[in-house]
Structure 1
Amino acid sequence: MMSLSRATKNYWLLSCCLFSFFLTWSFTFSLFPIWLNQYIGLSGERTGFIFSVNSLTALLIMPIYGLIQDKLGIKRSLLFAVGVLLVLSGPFFIFVYTPLLQTHFYLGAIIGGLYFSITFLAGVGAVETYVERIGRRTGFEFGKARMWGSLGWACATFFAGYLFNINPHINFYLASGCAFIFIIALLLVSTAPAAEEQTTNSNTLNTRDALDLLRLPQFWAFATYVIGVNCIYYVYDQQFPIYFSSLFPSSAEGNSMYGYLNSLQVFLEAGGMFLAPFIVNKIGAKNGLLLAGAIMACRILGSGFAATPVEISAMKLLHAAELPIMLIAIFKYITSSFDPRLSSTLYLVGFQFMTQVASSALSVVAGSMYDHYGFATSYKMMGIVVIIFLIVSACVLRSDKQAKLQLQTAN
């Protein structure tokens, strides 16, 4: 068993990995829709197309990442590959992605989608599930480590809006610089004491084990929640910064205010990550998912009725309560209702993959809705859809007691 001092060391190192990963991600993506709209000059429909391509390419990568990480267990090979790509994020945005979008839009969208999927959209799942697995082995709550990821996003976002107004390239250079921290911290993580257990677990897993998940009704119940609740929220959030900035006298002021507000929201989110394990342990994983979904519905509907910067800011801050509860509840639901050895596959396929499947189809539709009906009306329609799926999820998701009974019966 890993000693207390080694476990503590790994907790801080993995927290540092999450912190630096989200620093890099935030510097590149926190203002991504604004960058596409104001700097590249894309319409809402073309911006939606970009997000659809990102989602579609992520579909190809996420199942592969899940199987690889479950097979690797606590080995770090996949994470090192992600780290190298993180370092290349700045040069990619400046010297590859920008000129391609300006001269060969569709080629740029495809190449960008592949890079974003491999590095961020699937990469974050590999990093988070690795930290969650180490946490279960050594006794620290995933939420307490994931809190540092939120702080990393907040720190970058606080400066991103201001720096964007000076030159967007500054954010991209900072993204690459922060990525070196990820690689250094990952190099220092020690996993040797669990090598024997790792070999046993990884050798018993195969592709058939993952495919068997598709036969389980409970997998599709979980997928129903993800598609109908989380996916709609994901689509809603894609172009939210554009709507937010439009409520200010100038785009520059809106960009800066969004950066500051997003930073405040993520700082609050970090506190939520610390408290979320207590809340989810108290009410159960299923109720945690439903609570997070209810907050999402309130935020989406509220955004449709918000008419001032103060009101829309209040809706934005609800994310600080919703995301921590949902993320912790998802991992606890996965490990209590399914085989914990397949946690990476379940997270990347059952959660991330299913989100991308639905959002790939809905992103262009949502972009077209924004162009034709406006953001407010579109948000009201999305909110109603989330409420319907939330009611269905309450009926089909398995409670903690049912999961325990099923486990006892299986044994």
Structure 2
Amino acid sequence: MHRPLRETMRECELNDVVLVKVCFCDPDYLPSNHMLTQANKVRALYFLVFSCTASWLPIFADHLKAQGLTGIEISVVLSATPVMMLLIQPWYGALADKIGIRKCLIASTLFAALSFLLFLLQGEFLFLIGATIAMSVFYNALQPLLDSVTLGLVQEQPNLNYGSLRLAGAAGWAATGIIVGYFITSINTSVIFIVSSLSLLLAFFIALSLNDFRVDSNSIAPEKQNLQAVLKNKMLLYLLTAVLLVSIGATTIWNFYSIYMKEIGASPTWVGYGLSFQGLCELPLFFLSAVIIHRLGIKTTLLVTLAATTLRLFLYSWVNNPQWAIAIELLHGISWSLFWVVCVESVNSLVPQQWRATGQSVLYAVYFGAGQIAGNFWTGWLYDQQISIGRIFMLNGILVAVVAVLCAVFIRLGNQPNSVS
């Protein structure tokens, strides 16, 4: 008798050895083809989301300065994004754990793409705050949701690792920097919002075809219980404190890079070169992150990234021409890419599986929320005191050096998080 055609799997034996299992109801669900397709979709999403980020984030402060805002006003507008990250993102992560990451990702890409177009309208200080808040509600969710998808994919297919998928984001950052720098020179800084919107619109269509990653509904606790359970881990709290302080020091790089480069004589095109070179320097570190963490151990890798961040900040404060400043970006891969992989993987290993989206959202809320709020106001206040961005980099370097010492003493992490290998 023939077995039913819609039978999910059948085993084929050759020489008494089971070789393959064939899916009849959906040929695309063969494990290798299916997972490869999903991995490529995730890579495409990383590429587009970080193309968006590279378009607006490093240039936004310069755009606001061109609109006539003071240092403190710039800091207030810039801080709207991390404030929304801090207030909303942990609950957004809990919602994703409950209803599915894919649904949240689809909504976030679409509404963030539309909200970036608000910046094309003419408006004063209060309008800019409102537009930034509207954009941030949806934009902030993109990267933690993508990280959660990636960690779920890595768990299903162990031959993948977080860094090998995340490096597509570095490629998106690198490809966008030069293009945006060219169009800013040819047109004006408003072009950053058009590129951001188009990138996320493409991401929306890809997200529609993405598989969902969600846990069994029986294992889901209410949002408040999720957060309480995640934050009970003492070592996780130590790590998040370190992440907070590093974010305060590094925010000046993310949000005031364009102003810094122009202080030392760079044109918008040279700013674009610097941003693209940052992305290129991320690629090998994301690709090799699993190998590095395996060789050094996760705590040693963390300390190496903090030392690189300290050196990078000090070097910014010492150079006075754009060419040398771009050369400093050779440290970007270690100080940012490898640092972030360590953070994501550490949180992933310290948080129970059913709360991983919540854990990643808390990580993002700390780094891109609380840390950037404090970092923006710190930088904006010092800038209004007529202190150059270069000098601010030196002060931030001292802060990160102190964090490195504290991490060496207090942080205890396992040698290898599960999803790294």
The separation in 1 between residues aligned to 2:271 and 2:65, in whole angstroms, is: 15
- Summarize the Cα distance change of 1:169–1:403 in structure 2 as closer, same or farther, 3 Å threshold: closer
The separation in 2 between residues aligned to 1:349 and 1:380, in whole angstroms, is: 29
Contact 1:153 1:263 in 2 (8 A): yes
| 1:184-217 C-alpha deviation (Å, 9 max, x unpaired) | 22222235xx7xxx45266333331321233332
What is the CA distance between 1:76 and its match in structure 2?
0.6
TM-score of the superposed pair, with normalisation by structure 1: 0.86
- Summarize the Cα distance change of 1:107–1:6 in structure 2 as closer, same or farther, 3 Å threshold: same
Contact 2:294 2:415 in 1 (8 A): no
The separation in 1 between residues aligned to 2:177 and 2:218, in whole angstroms, is: 38
1:82 maps to a residue whose letter is S
Instruction: State which of 69, 88, 94 in structure 1 corresponds to 2:114.
Output: 88
Alignment partner, residue 407 of structure 1: none
Instruction: State which of 52, 56, 60 in structure 2 corresponds to 1:32.
Output: 60
Alignment partner, residue 58 of structure 1: 85
Pairing 1:4-403 to 2, within 5 Å after superposition? 4-38=32-66, 40-73=67-100, 75-95=101-121, 99-100=122-123, 102=124, 105-109=125-129, 111-139=130-158, 140-167=160-187, 168-191=189-212, 198-200=214-216, 203-207=219-223, 208-248=225-265, 254-372=267-385, 373-400=387-414
Say which one has the larger Rg: 2
Contact 1:62 1:353 in 2 (8 A): no
| 1:216-261 C-alpha deviation (Å, 9 max, x unpaired) | 321221122111223321244321220112211xxxx521101012
- Summarize the Cα distance change of 1:135–1:125 in structure 2 as closer, same or farther, 3 Å threshold: same
The separation in 2 between residues aligned to 1:148 and 1:337, in whole angstroms, is: 26
How many residues in Structure 1 have an aligned counterpart in Structure 2?
A: 386
Fraction of identical pairs, as percent: 19
Root-mean-square deviation over aligned CA pairs: 2.4
2:132 maps to a residue whose letter is G
The separation in 2 between residues aligned to 1:402 and 1:22, in whole angstroms, is: 27
| 1:245-296 C-alpha deviation (Å, 9 max, x unpaired) | 2211xxxx52110101211220221232111121122222222222211111
2:413 maps to a residue whose letter is S
Structure 1 alignment gaps of length 5 or more: 405-411
- Summarize the Cα distance change of 1:117–1:286 in structure 2 as closer, same or farther, 3 Å threshold: farther
| 1:157-177 C-alpha deviation (Å, 9 max, x unpaired) | 111111012223444333322
The separation in 1 between residues aligned to 2:341 and 2:416, in whole angstroms, is: 19
2:193 maps to a residue whose letter is F
| 1:353-373 C-alpha deviation (Å, 9 max, x unpaired) | 355213313422211212322
The separation in 1 between residues aligned to 2:116 and 2:296, in whole angstroms, is: 42
SS in 2 for 1:31: helix
Alignment partner, residue 5 of structure 2: none
What is the CA distance between 1:316 and its match in structure 2?
3.0
2:185 maps to a residue whose letter is N
Alignment partner, residue 408 of structure 1: none
